[in-house]
Amino acid sequence: MAVQQQVQPQALDAETLLTTEELSQFQIVWRRFRKHRLALIGGVIVIFFVSVALLADVLAPTVPPGYGAIRLEGALLPSPRAVNPAFQHLGPFERSDQAMHILGTDEVGRDILARLIHGARVSLYVGIAAMLGGEIIGSLLGAASGYYGGRVDALMMRVTDFMLTLPQLPILLVLSAALSGRISSEFWRINFLILILVIFGWMGSARLVRSVVLSLREQEFTEASKSLGASDLRIILRHMLPNAMSIIIVNATLAVAGLIIVESALSFLGFGVQPPTPSWGNMLTRVQDYMFQNPTLAIWPGLCIFLTVLSINFVGDGLRDALDPRLRNE
């Protein structure tokens, strides 16, 4: 009887193992990520702001119903010309029509809610686009540096160290002031700002990816790929970068938050996105003159920046815990 009692649990365990469905990598990551409550809340907030940015033209249409003509800077504009309500002048701090101006208007009569909605599109676009550019350049340079090593690694890391020693904010201010003023189109001015942020935003990703590739290049699968005749480019793109993807994803989420703050700082100082195009940063410009008269001018855009950056940081923390291979058995 004692022998049977010992064998039966073993048989049950074997049967359980045979019938247990193996989880995919995505399911494993999602199971660990959803345990991070703050990351889930942050993800919901980020999805909300991204949805608002994508639906900005629907939520704040270019010409509201009933507007045959719109006054802008004292000039009467005909109705066929699309004018965003975020740029309309309706009288300072006017809140007579609560249906049209839920959050009121700013110091020159522009609708605050409409500017927040369209400002989300600009701020998130700058942050995400600059992050993608910086992560792509940094990942490729870091992977090449770690894979080849030697003089290539030494040269790339010295360039990276030099870029990291530069005072980024003063240089960003000088470049934005010197060159963006020569660009008349606001679209190209925003993309020029993104280019500047990419130039000064790839170093962190490069160093992280290099550290991962330095250990991966000594693994057996790398030697096997070389023996099969795979090129260096194929090994980097098919083996090195995919194995470093977890670190790249976490770094990318945290980089978006930092870039949104940088864009807001530049726009606040008058060297980023220029009015009348709204961004959360330039909505804070000159509001200190009206803080006691209408403090909500600073509260609403500041709250949007705070919630977005905090939520992205929570998502980054959750992804870091979920993608950590040391927690694979949890």
The dihedral formed by the CA atoms of 132, 137, 141 and 142, expressed in degrees to the nearest 10:
-20
What confidence tens digit (pLDDT) does each residue in 145-157 have? 988 888 888 999 9
Distance CA 313, CA 46 (A): 10
Q: Are 294 and 304 in contact (CB under 8 A)?
A: no
Report pTM. Answer: 0.77
- Tell how strand 75-78 and strand 69-72 pair up: antiparallel
Chain-centroid distance of CA 30 in Å reads 20
Contact of 141 with 207, CB cutoff 8 Å: no
Residue 83's pLDDT is what?
43
Please state, for a pLDDT cut of 70, what percent of the chain lies above it.
77
Q: Which amino acid is at 195?
A: L
What is the pLDDT at residue 132? 93
Res 191: pLDDT: 86
Tokens 């792509």 — which residue?
Answer: 136
pLDDT at 135: 92
AA letter at 133: G
Three-class HEC string of the chain: CHHHHHHHHHHHHHHHHHHCCCCCHHHHHHHHHCCCHHHHHHHHHHHHHHHHHHCHHHHCCCCCCCCCEEEECCEEEECCCCCCHHHCCCCCCCCCCCCCCCCCECCCCCEHHHHHHHHHHHHHHHHHHHHHHHHHHHHHHHHHHHHHCHHHHHHHHHHHHHHHHCCHHHHHHHHHHHHHHHCCCHHHHHHHHHHHHHHCCCHHHHHHHHHHHHHHCCCHHHHHHHHCCCCHHHHHHHHHHHHCHHHHHHHHHHHHHHHHHHHHHHHHCCCCCCCCCCCCCHHHCCHHHHCCCCCHHHHHHHHHHHHHHHHHHHHHHHHHHHHCHHHCCC
Instruction: Dig out the tokens for 304 from the structure.
Output: 């949007």
All residue ranges of the chain with pLDDT < 70 are 1-23, 25, 62-101, 179-181, 184, 324-330
Look at residue 319 in the predicted model and tell me its pLDDT. 84
The pLDDT, as a whole number, for residue 131 is 92
- The domains located in the chain, with CATH, are 69-81+114-327 (1.10.3720.10)
Confidence at residue 65, expressed as pLDDT on a 0 to 100 scale: 40
